[in-house]
């Protein structure tokens, strides 16, 4: 708990900073009390550090929130959202009005319970799931370094992160820390709110490690200071900025709920309103006499001056950009524009496939597409979670490795699937890049929460997920994805592609690159598949589903399939047609795109005849297209360890099984 002497000591060290920080504290108290919901303790404890950062070190201009060369500020412990909203309001971000603060956590307000990217200017990423803000910030630091090398003189900014114990306890936090240290991201600066409190009580309940020592062991520059001493904080931030070869951690010893006489330093300050009585006591202890939500004019003016502190620097940068011979190229990159030759590149790649059909695994087809597209689109930056040789994500255009010594277009993420996915979100959010990264489809579970945030934020990130079924063979059920397609298809605003051949794979890549507001996931095969598509100029994959083969003058049955099973469906259809049946085969590379088509188109493709679905995965979800799960030829459970051909035979995913089922269904 706070005593008056601790508060007096903080006030004496820098009275101006203390008074400005109190504006943040009381806004957090008032907004959380008004909502009767929220987390006042962290904003109250971190207010001194946030004030020093915005007042003296952060490069920003509140009147130009999207200035490309601004510093990025990430509140990784997103439950402390009122700290960020208070900062944006006080510094003069136009959309963060006092009414938005008053309506914290209410319907229609941009002041959501956790910061959401796109809701308000100045929110650089969605945070809340702990650790992801830090990992996303690593992606932003990667983007800054890569873009600075490509556009020298136009890019020179930092990424600042505030986080708490929860971000460090989550596994993704360690993935991010390890990667950032290995790559020497010297413009990444982290402010650690070391307050010894979590929801369950003191951190000693579950957390006893030496955090500074852990980060030092990962190659970080580490500084420790009193989180309520403005001068010590100022010196620590200056030291962090001076270190350019290593990321910096500033471990700030703070008191959660600073100023609250009865809750400071306890778990009670974390996730519940102080209440009217304790709010009055806290404000009195801090020397605050204003009515709720009122900020004294002199302090409000000082905060607005802080918000305008970077205006001249921003204007000088804009003049430099205007004078630069690469200014137009830089603006196009930040805007996400495609090079003029992009469409011609896709057309030529399609033409080459039709002229020389490729019987390859779709992971190899993906590499063939990447060879052409990455050369044409400099914004593409790739990587893999230590599976480059299996994912086939590395091509000549991105063959320069990102290292601590120099940036490159290919990032070795190591065995850090979750960290990779979150870092790709950061690369996309920063601007200037179209990131993609690979792993096995079964490991999408490790990355899932970052994939979810990609979809929630609407980011053009591409996930390359290979070894998409029991077709990977001998590695067995631990590596054979069975439930993963259904699980991923359940995420809103995510394109899940399972292409049938090289043409569909190229088309899926084209869609993914052009989909700036929807992430894409490629489920790609290990085993070879024949090229099924015949010549044509339309991107049929963009339809999500289409009739790829039709046998007979009328339909007796429709076979729906994805990926490697489309060729099995065509084989079965040919055999059925010989026996007199009319059969249509529908390839469905992307359910989400198919469901977005008109009802007339969908009915035309699906037809009125009985339908069977074929996919080497759980049947779950297919009943939106077929009458019963019994009409899905798929996996009844987990796979097994054996060659792919044996597995398909043992689990009954064969052309013969399709033919038998179709005849029985038509005979009903």
Could you tell me if 560 and 516 lie in one domain?
no
**pLDDT < 50 stretches in the chain:** none
| Cα–chain center distance at 652 | 38
Give me the half-sphere count of Cα atoms (radius 13 Å) on the Cβ side of residue 580.
Answer: 2
Could you tell me if 155 and 53 lie in one domain?
yes
Specify binding-site residues for Mg(2+).
165, 195, 197
Q: 562 with 615: CB under 8 angstroms?
A: yes
pLDDT at 199: 92
pLDDT at 1: 58
* Residue 622 located in a structural domain: yes
Q: 115 with 123: CB under 8 angstroms?
A: yes
Q: How many domains does the chain have?
A: 3
Integer Cα distance of 223 and 642 in angstroms: 53
CATH number at residue 624: 3.40.50.920
Can 417 be counted among the known catalytic residues? yes
Could you tell me if 512 and 579 lie in one domain?
no
End residue of a domain, out of 530, 557, 592: 530
Q: 96 with 115: CB under 8 angstroms?
A: no
Specify binding-site residues for substrate.
39, 270, 363, 390, 467, 475, 479, 526
Integer Cα distance of 20 and 58 in angstroms: 16
What would the two tokens of residue 459 be?
């980011």
**Active-site entry in 116, 417, 504, 565:** 417
Q: Which secondary structure element, helix H or strand E, spans residue 438, and what is its range?
A: strand 434-440
Could you tell me if 175 and 142 lie in one domain?
yes
- pLDDT tens by residue, 73-110: 999 999 999 999 999 999 999 999 999 999 999 999 99
The DSSP code sequence of 47-59 is HHHHHHIIIII--
The DSSP code sequence of 533-581 is PPS-SS-GGGGS-EEEEEESSS-SEEEEE-TTHHHHHHHHHHHHHHTT-
Burial 369-394 (b: 16+ CB within 10 A, else e): bbebbbebbbbbbbbbbbbbebbbbb
Mean pLDDT of the chain: 97
pLDDT at 4: 84
Phi, psi of 19 (to 5 degrees): -65, -40
pLDDT at 668: 81
Specify binding-site residues.
39, 79, 128-130, 165-166, 195, 197, 270, 363, 390, 443, 467, 475, 479, 526
Could you tell me if 496 and 618 lie in one domain?
no
Could you tell me if 175 and 292 lie in one domain?
yes
Specify binding-site residues for thiamine diphosphate.
79, 128-130, 166, 195, 270, 443
Q: Which domain holds residue 155?
A: 3-315
- pLDDT tens by residue, 287-343: 999 999 999 999 999 999 999 999 999 999 999 999 999 999 999 999 999 999 999
**80: DSSP letter:** G
Could you tell me if 208 and 356 lie in one domain?
no
Integer Cα distance of 27 and 74 in angstroms: 20
With CA atoms as reference, report the closest residue to 650 among 640, 660, 658, 662.
640
* Residue 101 located in a structural domain: yes
Angle between helices 132-150 and 417-430 (to 10 degrees): 50
**395: DSSP letter:** -
CATH number at residue 243: 3.40.50.970
pLDDT at 5: 86
What would the two tokens of residue 613 be?
């679905």
């Amino acid at each position: 708990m706070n005593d008056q002497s601790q508060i007096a000591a903080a006030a004496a060290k820098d009275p101006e900073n203390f008074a400005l920080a109190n504006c943040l504290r009381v806004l957090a108290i008032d907004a959380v009390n008004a909502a009767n919901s929220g987390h006042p303790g962290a904003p109250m404890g971190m207010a001194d550090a946030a004030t020093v950062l915005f007042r003296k070190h952060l490069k920003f201009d509140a009147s130009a929130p999207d200035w490309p060369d601004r510093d990025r500020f990430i509140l990784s412990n997103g439950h402390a959202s009122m700290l960020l909203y208070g900062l944006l309001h006080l510094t003069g971000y136009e959309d963060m009005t006092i009414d938005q603060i008053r309506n914290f956590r209410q319907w229609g307000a941009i002041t959501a319970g956790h910061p959401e990217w796109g809701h308000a200017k100045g929110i650089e990423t969605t945070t809340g799931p702990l650790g992801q803000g830090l990992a996303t910030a690593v992606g932003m630091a990667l983007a800054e370094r890569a873009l600075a090398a490509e556009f020298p003189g136009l890019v020179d900014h930092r990424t600042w992160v505030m986080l708490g114990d929860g971000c460090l306890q989550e596994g993704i936090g360690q993935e991010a820390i390890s990667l950032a240290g290995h790559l020497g991201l010297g413009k990444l600066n982290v402010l650690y709110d070391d307050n010894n409190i979590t929801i369950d009580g003191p951190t000693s309940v579950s957390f006893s490690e030496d955090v500074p020592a852990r980060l030092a062991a990962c190659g970080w520059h580490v500084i420790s200071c009193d989180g309520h001493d403005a001068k010590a904080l100022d010196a620590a931030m200056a030291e962090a900025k001076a270190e350019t070869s290593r990321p910096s951690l500033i471990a700030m010893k703070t008191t959660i709920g600073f100023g609250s006489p009865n809750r400071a330093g306890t778990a009670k300050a974390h996730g519940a309103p102080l209440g009217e009585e304790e709010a009055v006591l806290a404000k009195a202890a801090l020397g605050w006499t204003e009515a709720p939500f009122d900020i004294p004019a002199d302090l409000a003016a000082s905060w607005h001056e802080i918000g305008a502190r970077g205006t001249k620097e921003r204007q000088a940068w804009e003049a430099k950009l205007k004078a630069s011979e690469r200014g137009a190229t830089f603006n196009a990159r930040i805007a996400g524009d495609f090079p003029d030759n992009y469409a011609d590149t896709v057309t030529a790649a399609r033409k080459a496939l039709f002229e020389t059909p490729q019987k390859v695994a779709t992971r190899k087809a993906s590499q063939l597409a990447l060879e052409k597209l990455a050369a044409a689109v400099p914004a593409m930056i790739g990587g893999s979670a230590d599976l480059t040789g299996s994912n086939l994500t590395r091509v000549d255009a991105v063959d320069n490795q990102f290292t601590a010594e120099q940036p490159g277009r290919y990032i070795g993420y190591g065995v850090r699937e979750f960290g990779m996915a979150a870092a790709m979100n950061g690369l996309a959010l920063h601007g200037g890049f179209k990131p993609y990264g690979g792993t096995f489809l079964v490991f999408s579970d490790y990355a899932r929460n970052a994939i979810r945030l990609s979809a929630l934020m609407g980011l053009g990130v591409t996930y390359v997920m290979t070894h998409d079924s029991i077709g990977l063979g001998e590695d067995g059920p631990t590596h054979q994805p069975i439930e993963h397609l259904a699980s991923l298809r359940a995420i809103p605003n995510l394109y899940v592609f399972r292409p049938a051949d090289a043409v569909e794979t190229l088309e899926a890549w084209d869609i993914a690159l052009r989909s700036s507001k929807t992430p894409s996931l490629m489920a790609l095969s290990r085993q070879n598949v024949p090229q099924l598509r015949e010549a044509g100029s339309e991107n049929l994959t963009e339809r999500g589903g289409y009739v790829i083969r039709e046998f007979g003058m009328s339909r007796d049955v429709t076979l729906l399939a994805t990926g490697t099973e489309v060729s099995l469906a065509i084989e079965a259809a040919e055999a059925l047609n010989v026996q007199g049946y009319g059969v249509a085969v529908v390839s469905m590379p992307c359910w989400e795109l198919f469901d977005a088509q008109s009802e007339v188109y969908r009915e035309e493709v699906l037809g009125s005849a009985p339908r069977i679905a074929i996919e080497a995965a759980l049947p779950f979800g297919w009943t939106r297209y077929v009458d019963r799960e019994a009409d899905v030829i798929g996996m009844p459970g987990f796979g097994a360890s054996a060659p792919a051909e044996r597995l398909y035979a043992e689990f009954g995913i064969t052309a013969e099984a399709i033919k038998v089922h179709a005849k029985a269904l038509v005979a009903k």
